[in-house]
Amino acid sequence: MAKSMSNPKVEIKDLTDFVTKNILDKKQIAKFYYYWINLNIDYDFEKRDKWRTENSTDKEINDSENPLLVFEEKKAVCIGYSNLYKMFLDSSKIECVIIIGYVKTLENLSLEPELDDNYRHAWNALKIENSWLLVDTTWAHQFEESISDFYFDTSPEKLILSHYPEDNEWQLLDNLISIEEFNSQPYVHSLYFDTGFRQLPVLTEDDVYYYIEFPKIASNNWLTKLTYDSENKINESVIPEYEEKENSNLFKFKKNGIPKNAVLNVVVTYFDWEKQTKSEYNNIIKYQL
């Protein structure tokens, strides 16, 4: 339905009137706007890079936060995405707030909030039927070919793997975690959960081996493998021993075969058996060993 309103000539009132007339369920309204934004708003890398070099004027910063300008220009950084989403939900009388915090990325696996201003981020929480839902419209479009559902109504337990709010209240967890606990978690790309995995693999060790155990998933289109990064090597293959269990697959590999302080990478490969093609995605999970 969002595609039907993806005309560049559509005005804000056209869009909000369409939603009012055609969608009654509040969660479906929120999801419509999630998709519409990602079909119509491009990420503004040029503006992000200018912000990072601290060359933006006050007017440019204010303009980037203005949802009306974001709608007009069809490009934004995270705060623009979040403000536009809030504006749309406000028009449908859905309570929505903007959350400011920090994100863990491939470039920055460990956060130091006082130093990591480049990794500040904005996302949203919206309230439907007395429950808060977490949404990140900026991160929904990480692969050009698709929009991921993962960042709409993401569970707090999964979003805290990558998003750390300045106000701990917005962790929405029963047991809040510290920044140290956040940093001790692995980096996880949303594709891992999009493949069908519901839980993270468990990494353990003894004196001789590292063990990493993946839960089984229904699809046979996805396979996993391991690589590591060290001071002198990138994406070096790990050759593990393999054990298939009833509900999981266990990899184990010797600790002396990998440099100390290496980063273990999980690579996933999608096989299209009908077309006989495959697509490999690197660095889907990263563990600091």
Taken in order of first residue, the domains within the chain and their CATH numbers are: 2-185 (3.10.620), 194-288 (2.60.40)
Q: In whole angstroms, give the CA distance from residue 76 to residue 65.
A: 8
Is this prediction's pTM over 0.85?
yes
Residues 12, 71 contacting (CB under 8 angstroms): yes
Strands of the sheet containing 120-128, edge to edge, are 152-154, 131-135, 120-128, 95-103, 163-165
Amino acid letter, residue 46: E
Q: What is the pLDDT along the chain (289 residues), one digit of tens a residue?
A: 666 567 677 899 999 999 999 999 999 999 999 999 999 999 988 877 776 777 667 666 666 789 999 999 999 999 999 999 999 999 999 999 999 999 999 999 999 988 888 899 999 999 999 999 999 999 998 766 689 999 999 999 999 999 999 999 999 999 999 999 999 999 999 999 999 898 999 999 999 999 999 999 878 889 899 999 998 889 999 999 999 999 999 999 999 999 989 999 999 999 988 889 999 999 999 999 9
Burial letters for 241-280: b for 16+ Cβ neighbours within 10 Å, e otherwise? eeeeeeeebbbbbeeeebeeebbbbbbbeeeeeeeeeeee
Q: In whole angstroms, give the CA distance from residue 186 to residue 285.
A: 7
